[in-house]
Each structure stands twice: as C-alpha cells, then as structure tokens.
Copies of this chain bind each other. A is one copy, B any other.
Amino acid sequence: MKKLSIADIAKHLHVSKTTVSFILNGRAQEKRIGREVVERVQKFVDEVGYKPNPLAKSLRTGKSNTIGLMVEDISNPFFASIARLIEDRAYKNGYKIIYCSTDNDTAKTRDLISMFRDRHVDGYIIAPPEGIEDDISSLVKAGMPVVLFDRHLPNVSTDFIEIDNLFSTYNATRHLIQQGYKKIAYITFANNQTHMLARLEGYHRALGESGYESFVKEIDFNQNDDLITAPIAAFLKKNKNLDAVFFGTNHVGACGLKAITELGIKVPTDLAVISFDDYDVFKLFSPPITAIAQPIEAIADSVITVLLNRLNTSSQHISSQSIILKTDLNIRRSSKTE
C-alpha cells in the first residue's frame, strides 16, 4: 500500500493531473473547472487521505515551508522556551523548524547558514553572533526573509526583535541604588554585541547619575561552567568591599550563585544580587533573586509574526521593522526591601 501520487488520483478519476492540481491548490474557480469535477476530486482525495509529496512540491515551487532557527544554545532555558513557542506557531502555520545552536561561534554559524541555504529554508530566525554581519547581509540581499532577535547587527538592515536592554539595567541598577547600595559590581560575558553593550551602558548610566564608581568583571564565554564560576569566585573574593552584584545574563547569574554559595556569602546581608533574565533557579534560590524578566511569549510571538508576514507578502519592499519590548523587574528578597 504505497503512497498515492497525483498521477494515481488523476488516473483513477479519469481526469488530468493538471485538473487535480488546480483543484487542490484552490484555483478551481479561477481556472473555471466544473463544479461536478471539483466535487468528485475533493471527495476522492479526502477519502483516500491523499497528501501531495512536499518534496516534489518544494522542488517545483522553490518553497520548502521550512524556517531555520539559530540560537546561541538551545539548551539554555531562555532560548529553549522561545524555540518552543516559535515551533508551536510555525507548525500551526504549516511551517516546520530546523534549528541549531551557534555557540556564539562565527565560523560555526557561517557553516550553518550555508547549510540552511542549501536546504532551501524559506526564512531565517537568528540570534546572531559577532562578526556575522556580511553573511547575514548577503542573505538579506538575496531576498531572504531574516528576522534577528535578542540582539541585532547595526549595519544590517533587516527586521529584528529586541528588548529595551539599556533601560532594563538602568532601571534595575537605580533600584539597587535607591535601596542604599553604593558599591555595585556588574559581571558579564566579554562580548561586544548590541544587547550586551546596551546592558552595560544602562548600568554605567545609572551609576554615573549618582556619581558612583563602577566595578565591571568580564568573563570569557566557555562551554564548561566551572571556567565561568571560578573567575567569578576569584573576583568576589578579591573585592570584599562590594555590597551588590549585578549579573548580565542568566547563565552568568547561575554560575555566580554557585560561586556565592561556595564562598559562603550571605545574600542579601553580605551582598545584594540581581540578575538579567529570570528562571527557576532565581525563583527558588534562597533568598529568591531579583531578576529582569524578558517577555518570552511576546518575543516569540513578535518574531514569528514578523517572519510569517514577510513570507506571505511577496513584496520585499516593505522597509525593515524593529520591535523593542519592555521587560519586568521582578523584585525579590535578594536585596534590602527597605
């Protein structure tokens, strides 16, 4: 019982493949195919559950109904959650997702982009690493719909979804200041991407307004958590005079908490803590950690909506749009509460 092809359907019903194809693609009216024929074909197709072979369809039409999703690390809860939501919406709209993790590695990303290209994906959703501008530009120039998220590339003109990073850290830092903290450190990954720079800038701006000194520690990104935890621990050990610390990402935050725990530092008595991104670890730590929560649903929703729009409206001449979303500061007991 092998799969039926459109030719089988046509033969069985004594009509041509063309007729069947037109009917299945809703062009019956336009092609003025008789009502009786349309009904006969529809009925039979439903009956045997015929589905066109998507490969053949893709080959002919050039559309693959596939979206390529590239994130930094799919096992990071932030990206995993977004992927999950995007996946759901994509499937509902007849698109499937193929995904991969870039590890923020430019060369790997380049390879992956070219792989996606070979696979004829219809559109790209990318959290781009540094140094990938040219590759993305050439995608865009080739007329490919590309939506960036989490960060953007200033010199590439394409759609992107971001959060208000600068204001988020500014606001959170102000919060610490208002609680009376004066020696506030900022620990983050060494990284020059828009979102990370903006976060750092927000921190600096808040401190600057109050005339406070800044303490920034940049950690090299590493797959091995121990190599993130160790330098944080060393930094905290060396700077005993700090009264608060701000972690720039969820991953740094988690490793930072590990360091804090290992050093036996008491939160918030010895040190107040705040982190970018929010997830279980922060909610369940004791005391629970104040964190900047990104609007995951809104991000995923915006991303897929923008991309689907591009995919459906063939006119490529809509100017690229950027959406900036707000974050929430979830205040918990990791700092003085007055």
| A residues adjacent to B (C-beta < 8 A) | 51, 53-56, 58-59, 64, 73-77, 80-81, 83-84, 87-88, 91, 96-101, 115, 118-120, 254, 257-258, 261, 280-281, 283-286, 288
- Cross-chain pairs A/B with CB under 8 angstroms, 7 sampled: A54-B120, A55-B58, A55-B120, A75-B81, A281-B281, A285-B285, A285-B286
With a 10 A CB-CB cut-off, give which of A74, A87, A284 has the most chain B CB atoms.
Answer: A284
A56→B57 CA distance, assembly (Å): 10
Contacts of A96 in B (CB 8 A): 98, 115, 119
CB-based contact A119/B54 at 8 Å: yes
When the two chains form the complex, which single residue of B51, B76, B283 contacts A258, counting CB atoms closer than 8 Å? B283
A94 CB, nearest partner CB in chain B, Å: 10
A80→B78 CA distance, assembly (Å): 11
A284→B58 CA distance, assembly (Å): 49
CB-based contact B83/A254 at 8 Å: no
A267 CB, nearest partner CB in chain B, Å: 10
Instruction: List the 9 shortest-distance A-B pairs measured between CB atoms, nearest first.
Output: A75-B84, A80-B80, A75-B80, A75-B81, A55-B59, A280-B281, A286-B286, A55-B58, A74-B84
Known pairs A53-B59, A76-B80, A254-B284 / 13 extra A-B pairs, C-beta < 8 Å: A55-B55, A55-B64, A74-B80, A75-B80, A75-B83, A77-B80, A87-B100, A96-B98, A97-B98, A97-B99, A258-B283, A281-B284, A284-B285
A261→B285 CA distance, assembly (Å): 9
A284→B96 CA distance, assembly (Å): 36
Contacts of A98 in B (CB 8 A): 96-98
A183→B258 CA distance, assembly (Å): 32
CB-based contact B261/A280 at 8 Å: no
When the two chains form the complex, which single residue of B87, B101, B288 contacts A74, counting CB atoms closer than 8 Å? B87
A282 CB, nearest partner CB in chain B, Å: 9
A257→B281 CA distance, assembly (Å): 11
A330 CB, nearest partner CB in chain B, Å: 14
A84→B283 CA distance, assembly (Å): 25
Contacts of A75 in B (CB 8 A): 77, 80-81, 83-84
CB-based contact B84/A73 at 8 Å: yes
A99→B53 CA distance, assembly (Å): 20
A59→B75 CA distance, assembly (Å): 33
Contacts of A101 in B (CB 8 A): 84, 87-88
A121 CB, nearest partner CB in chain B, Å: 10
A222 CB, nearest partner CB in chain B, Å: 16
Contacts of A80 in B (CB 8 A): 74-77, 80
Contacts of A51 in B (CB 8 A): 118
Contacts of A285 in B (CB 8 A): 284-286
- Of chain B, the residue at the smallest CB distance from A116 is B96
Contacts of A118 in B (CB 8 A): 51, 54
Contacts of A283 in B (CB 8 A): 258
A178 CB, nearest partner CB in chain B, Å: 26
When the two chains form the complex, which single residue of B77, B87, B99, B261 contacts A284, counting CB atoms closer than 8 Å? B261
A91→B74 CA distance, assembly (Å): 14
